[in-house]
Amino acid sequence: MMAARLSFSNITALAPMVRVGTLPMRLLALDYGADVVYCEELIDIKMAQCQRVVNEVLETVDFVAPDDRVMFRTCERERDRVVFQMGTADPERALTVAQLVEKDVAAIDVNMGCPKEYSTKGGMGAALLSDPDKIEAILKKLVTGVGIPVTCKIRILPSVEDTVSLVRRIEKTGVAAIAVHGRFKEERPRHPVHCDYIQAVSQAVSIPVIANGGSLDLVKKNGDIEEFRKATGASSVMLARAAMWNASVFNSQGPVPVERVMEEYLKYAIRYDNNAFNTKYCLCQMLRDKVESPLGKQVQAAQTNAEISNAYGLQEFYQQIQEQQQVRRDALQNGSQPDKPVMDGDVITMAVKFERREYPPQITPKMFLLEWSRKEKLEQPFYETVQRAQDRAFQSTVMVAEKKYRSSLWEKSKKFAEQAAAIVCLRVLGIPEGRIGEEDSGLVCKRKRERKVNGSAEEEISKKRHVADVQQEAETSETAVVTNGNHHKPDTPPERQKSS
């Protein structure tokens, strides 16, 4: 089932925040009532090197860098709400990254507001504001290249006219919404936000405008969010610092004491094995002026999530989670449930490899799946294959009876990736797959028996049909175009076997 497209109309969002907007904070913000949560800005070059890994212990999807660092971790709970923000100055690379993550997130955002040197010197962030042609190229590439909404986040330009003209140009690229941080790129977070600029933008475009920049002086509690929205005439509001200090600002029932908020945050950090320095950083932001208190000092001195848990009296919770995760790890490592299917979004996955030597010559799982689908009078299996940039490995998803199946392991060739997807489907459905030593299923192998029983003419016809089937399967595997996320045509039906 396809999730509904994320709407940016009349929403409250957790703003993108480096170091703050990782999974625990995003889940906490959702718990308190945020409609949409942005991840921290992730740089396209780093993301493009990442490998997508389904983490079966944590039940997350991780994007892991070559040095094993998890750059982006997400989970099913936020899939329809999380916006992936990237820093980019290159349309092609932006698209590569967007396609890498698009199945796991609800929308893609481009950061065009970061004034920090590390961003602007690479032509990213606020540097893009003075290169509208580049903005247009990146956004158009993304809008046409991914199937989920694309948005961008800007700062305001020196004049209202220039700001309005830029957002009109941005609107034409087909973006779903635009977030406006109402400060000039030279301004610091302590400067007052320019609500009049956001208002002018809101009036000038018909896509939703998300007002941002109100945390310090305007938005202190939940009720202020609506005031800020009205003051800017925007459709929606995005909060950074107010949420970082106390995420319960999203709670329409009123504020929750920060001590409880910290505890809830820490529980998510433990549950999702968040990087300890990141956990520490966020807790210190929440502690604010209490960062030098005894608790604050304990947090600052901690080096691991276990030590941070001690500071908050959550040792038992920490221990419990560790034990649960160890049980899962052991089960996975011992292979006690080797073929256990795992849901990855709407796709049923298993860790399966196609080993050619396990099947007789000319017999493949794909053929078995095709024959079974025909027998059941189902549409032919439909394969969709992607190739990842970093090692050019392939992963295929097969759609059968409106359900999707995929191997979580990547294959060296597209043909093998399709066979692996077919195996997952056959195993989940409990259908024979043609392996050597498997009980005769009467599916594909039936033809061989027929050849033996009937005379030579029949044998010849049957052989030709069989070869046609095999060739057809090989052809569709070899000739279909494979690019990131592109569909290719399903198996064209070979001549049907007449039952005799």
Ligand X SMILES: Cc1cc2nc3c(=O)[nH]c(=O)nc-3n(C[C@H](O)[C@H](O)[C@H](O)COP(=O)(O)O)c2cc1C
List contacts with ligand X (CB under 6 A). 15-18, 20, 40-41, 85, 111, 113-114, 153, 181, 189, 212-216, 239-242
**CA angle, 128 as apex, 124 and 130 as ends, to 5°?**
145
Do residues 378 and 356 make contact, with C-beta atoms less than 8 angstroms apart? no
Residue 370 Cβ vs ligand X, minimum distance, rounded to whole Å: 48
- Give the DSSP letter string of 105-121: -SEEEEEE---SHHHHT
Burial code (b: 16+ CB inside 10 Å, e: under 16) for 207-222 equals: bbbbbbbbbeebbeeb
Residue 110 Cβ vs ligand X, minimum distance, rounded to whole Å: 9
Burial of 367 (0-12, 13-18, 19+ CB in 10 A): buried
Annotation says 114 is catalytic: yes
Of the pair 119, 408, the CB lying nearest ligand X is at 119
Of the pair 242, 369, the CB lying nearest ligand X is at 242
CA neighbor of 371 nearest in space, from 484, 485, 496: 496
Of the pair 40, 78, the CB lying nearest ligand X is at 40
Q: Please tell me which residue in 114, 152, 195, 445 is annotated as part of the active site.
A: 114
Do residues 387 and 446 make contact, with C-beta atoms less than 8 angstroms apart? no
Which element (helix H / strand E) includes 384? strand 382-387
CA distances (Å), 171 to each of 135, 143, 164, 166, 200, in order? 11, 11, 10, 9, 14
Residue 250 Cβ vs ligand X, minimum distance, rounded to whole Å: 12
Residue 246 Cβ vs ligand X, minimum distance, rounded to whole Å: 13
Which DSSP state fits 481? Answer: -
Of the pair 69, 118, the CB lying nearest ligand X is at 118
- Dihedral (CA of 467, 472, 478, 479) sign: positive
Of the pair 156, 299, the CB lying nearest ligand X is at 156
Q: Which residues contact 223 (CB under 8 A, 6 or more apart)?
A: none
Residue 132 Cβ vs ligand X, minimum distance, rounded to whole Å: 18
Residue 359 Cβ vs ligand X, minimum distance, rounded to whole Å: 49
Of the pair 180, 302, the CB lying nearest ligand X is at 180
Do residues 339 and 98 make contact, with C-beta atoms less than 8 angstroms apart? no
Q: Which residue type is seen at 448?
A: K
Active site residues: 114
